Amino acid sequence: MKKLFSILFMTTFLFAACEGDQGPQGPPGQDGLDGLDGLGYTLEDTFTFEYFEDNNTYSTFYTIPDDVATINPQADAVLVYRLEILEDNQGNDIDTWSLIPQNFFVEEGTIQYVYNHTAADVELIIDGNFDLSELDPFFTDNQTFRFVVVPSDFAETTGIEVSNFNAVMNALDLKESDVKKAKALK
């Protein structure tokens, strides 16, 4: 047993004492994107939808600016929020952001804001169960949307309720000043 202990002690001593001069520093790695692998950013723009009679929908496209991190449709999610300005009890305007799809029940029937996206753009669509050609411009003109790009497993890994715009912004550590507004990007 003494012999085994002596061998282990000597081996440990030899390995600990085998430290030589430090070699040269390796080459630097490639520069990466700031933030969450280029994710976790918010874009904002205002649109007036165009009516398409052939499929009875309104639609518009938002092209993601080239100077913004690219979207990987297989790994990233785009959350789209529509602005609605409400009035509080004191008569002050309050910006509220609702995750779409979003439904509205109007006298003629139901309309719904929906969207789809690629790596380069987001298509916003207003669909409905009645003739939309006479839809009130309140729903089609000067509509403001925010597009939040996050990792596709964001809600699952963070436990955040993605329908709450402010909770998503807080989870991504984004402030109002971080929102890239269309006027600033053009």
Contact by Cβ (8 Å): 43, 169: no
The rounded distance, in Å, linking the Cα atoms of 80 and 98 is 8
Q: What is the pLDDT of residues 65-117, one digit of tens each?
A: 776 666 766 677 889 999 999 888 888 888 999 999 999 999 999 999 999 98
Q: What is the pLDDT of residues 127-147, one digit of tens each?
A: 999 999 999 999 999 999 999
Q: Sorting pLDDT into bands at 50, 70 and 90, what band is 19?
A: low
Return the pLDDT at 31: 55
The rounded distance, in Å, linking the Cα atoms of 33 and 48 is 33
Helix (H) or strand (E) segment spanning residue 168: helix 165-171
Q: What is the pLDDT of residues 145-173, one digit of tens each?
A: 999 888 877 777 777 888 888 888 888 88
The rounded distance, in Å, linking the Cα atoms of 90 and 37 is 42
Q: Quote the DSSP letter at residue 91.
A: S
Beginning with the edge strand found earlier in the chain, give each strand of the sheet holding 50-52 in spatial order.
50-52, 57-63, 121-128, 109-117, 102-106
Does the pTM exceed 0.85? no
Helix (H) or strand (E) segment spanning residue 33: none
Contact by Cβ (8 Å): 58, 125: yes
Q: What is the pLDDT of residues 25-49, one digit of tens each?
A: 777 765 544 444 445 778 899 999 9
User: Across the chain, what does the average pLDDT equal?
Assistant: 81
